[in-house]
Amino acid sequence: MTNHTGRCYCGEITYKITGAAQWQAQCHCRECQYISGGGPNYFMIVAADDFTITKGTPTQFARADLDSPRRRDFCPTCGTHLVTRLPDRPAVVVKVGTLDDPAAYAGPAAAIFTCDAQPYHRIPDDLPAFDKLPPR
């Protein structure tokens, strides 16, 4: 998946991706449940250099009570969570629902943080699932 565009719900923030996804998954962690409204978070990771905001300026949030918090970028108008930036990696975690063509997402390669999955979360039987993160 390369050369894709995306935006927030109201269109104030737009972005482009010029490289291939490094990884794709669905995350069931409690943080993602807050961000997604309760379901798993479908995402893809791209190199930071392959991701560019093309319009607008997102609001950023990072939890002050964590030693190494992730930074989350939101639209200041509609509140759409666009991406998460990892403190220890030059990568951007793109929320699949913000892609202009979310059908281009080929689906998750794994389910992660299933230790936090809720009884109503569905994980396909053939999808590798990990209590936390998969081994590198």
- For residues 76 and 97, the answer to whether their CB atoms sit within 8 Å is no
pLDDT at 127: 98
pLDDT at 128: 97
Q: Give SS3 for 133.
A: coil
133: tokens are: 């993160």
- Non-local CB neighbours of 119 within 8 Å, separated by 6+ positions: none
pTM beyond 0.95: the answer is no
pLDDT at 71: 94
52: tokens are: 């560019």
Strand partners for 6 = 15, 99
Reply yes or no on whether the pLDDT at 1 is more than 60: no
pLDDT at 87: 87
Reply yes or no on whether the pLDDT at 27 is more than 60: yes
Fold classified for 4-116 = 2.170.150
- Domain coordinates of the chain in residue numbers? 4-116
Residue 2: band (very low, low, confident or very high) from pLDDT cuts 50, 70, 90: confident
The residue whose two tokens read 């794709």 is: 24
pLDDT at 136: 79
Strands (E), 33-97: 41-47, 51-55, 59-61, 71-74, 81-85, 91-95
Q: Give SS3 for 121.
A: coil
Q: 49-73: per-residue pLDDT in tens?
A: 999 999 999 999 999 998 988 899 9
The whole-chain average pLDDT of the chain stands at: 95
Q: 87-135: per-residue pLDDT in tens?
A: 889 999 999 999 999 998 989 999 999 999 999 999 999 999 999 999 9
Q: What distance in Å separates the CA atoms of residue 130 and residue 128, rounded to the nearest whole number?
A: 7
pLDDT at 109: 97
Q: Give SS3 for 130.
A: coil
Q: What distance in Å separates the CA atoms of residue 11 and residue 82, rounded to the nearest whole number?
A: 12
